[in-house]
Amino acid sequence: MLSQFTTTLSLLALASALPSTLSPKKSPAIPLVFDGRVPKAATGATFDAGLLPYNAKYDLGANLTWSDVLLFPKVQTSLFDNSSTKAVEVTIDDRAIFTPSPTNVQAGFRRNELLPQPANATYATTGIKTLHFSLQPDSHRRLNYSHEYQLVWLESQDYSADQFSLNVGTIFGTKEAHPKRLQLRGTSHASPQQTLWSAPFEEGVWHNLALVLDFNKNALKVYYSRECEKLEAVTGFIPNDLSNLGQYHFGILKKPTGQNLTDITRQGYQEKGVHEGIVYGGILEEDSKGGSLSIAPGKSVKY
């Protein structure tokens, strides 16, 4: 009896050690287009040295390095991170003035953003892809919700537009009764941008998003959850112009306030002495041409 019992136990142990591909309950892995999860050992210098799949030099304020800008706060592991990866915080201060050329000092903005590499990646902005990320505010580096912030977006390759943008705060030129909300903004084949989906942006909580981006049909679908809950669809497919390839941004672009501005990249009001940050986790992109996306590690659904 005893030996039978131990045999059953060791069979169970063997079964759980088998590769997941042999286990009928697990969904097949969805191939990744890029994996932007940050290894536990990474520091700002790892980003500066270009050792991670992010641009080593852009988009940063003039004369800044990733070592100046990135922090690695001890927060809970995000939905798609694991014991060998960690969260990364992108911060801005008064120095975060992007200066792409000596005659183009973008003093209207404060901005530092991680750009997944390689840039101009047609493979990341064609077909059907699912962009995953988690984010949360930092209660020690609060944003000023009187301003508009872009936190995650796709910018077309000619820099003429953002195909979509996850924002928080007061959209420039509007009045916002509840500015502490995430707003996914897109074109919906209309200009200017419209809000496609929205949720409160609470402190101390991971907000997980997955955007199924159908570049063939120019449509997107939003999945969302909090903390380590599995993702759930919060929209259907929404028509949205995704054409013109481009570059993903993960970080802070803080717009100015002010009236009658003709060029908000260089004009408008930015208060002095800011120390603001947003924490990111689990940045990755799946190739969803097979019809599925992951809603938790090892769990997928048809979109």
**What's the token pair of residue 198?**
């929205």
122 binds ligand NAG (CB under 6 A): yes
Instruction: Count the Cβ atoms, other than its own, within 10 Å of residue 266.
Output: 14
User: Is 89:71 a contact under the CB 8 Å cutoff?
Assistant: yes
Q: Does 65 bind ligand NAG (CB under 6 A)?
A: no
254 binds ligand NAG (CB under 6 A): no
Interaction mask 263-302, ligand NAG, x per CB under 6 A: ------x-x-------------------------------
How many angstroms separate the first and last alpha carbons of the chain? 49
Cα–Cα distance list, 272 to 93, 144, 276 (Å)? 8, 12, 12
User: What mask, x for binding ligand NAG by CB under 6 A, covers residues 95 to 114?
Assistant: --x-x---------------
Q: Which residue has the tokens 């993702």?
A: 231
Q: Taking contact as CB under 6 A, which single stretch among the options 159-167, 188-196, 197-205, 257-265 is the one that binds ligand NAG?
A: 257-265
Interaction between residue 202 and ligand NAG (CB under 6 A): no
Choose the stretch contacting ligand NAG; rule: CB under 6 A; options: 126-134, 204-212, 227-235, 255-263. Answer: 255-263
Contact 294, 302 (CB under 8 A): no
Instruction: Indicate whether 141 belongs to the interface with ligand NAG (CB under 6 A).
Output: no
- 8 A C-beta contact, residue 231 and residue 205: no
The dihedrals phi and psi of 210, each to the nearest 5 degrees, come to -135, 130
Nearer to ligand NAG, 136 or 257 (CB): 257
Residue 85 is a binding residue for ligand NAG (CB under 6 A): yes
All residues at 6 or more sequence positions from 89 whose CB lies less than 8 Å from its CB, including other chains: 70, 71, 72, 73, 138, 141, 277, 278, 279, 280
Question: Which residue from 146, 216, 243, 267 is in contact with ligand NAG, where contact means CB under 6 A?
Answer: 146
User: Smallest distance from the beta carbon of 7 to ligand NAG, in angstroms?
Assistant: 29
d(CA 29, CA 198): 30
In the complex, the residues that contact ligand NAG under the rule CB under 6 A are 35, 37, 62-63, 82-85, 97, 99, 120, 122, 144, 146-147, 157, 257, 259-260, 269, 271
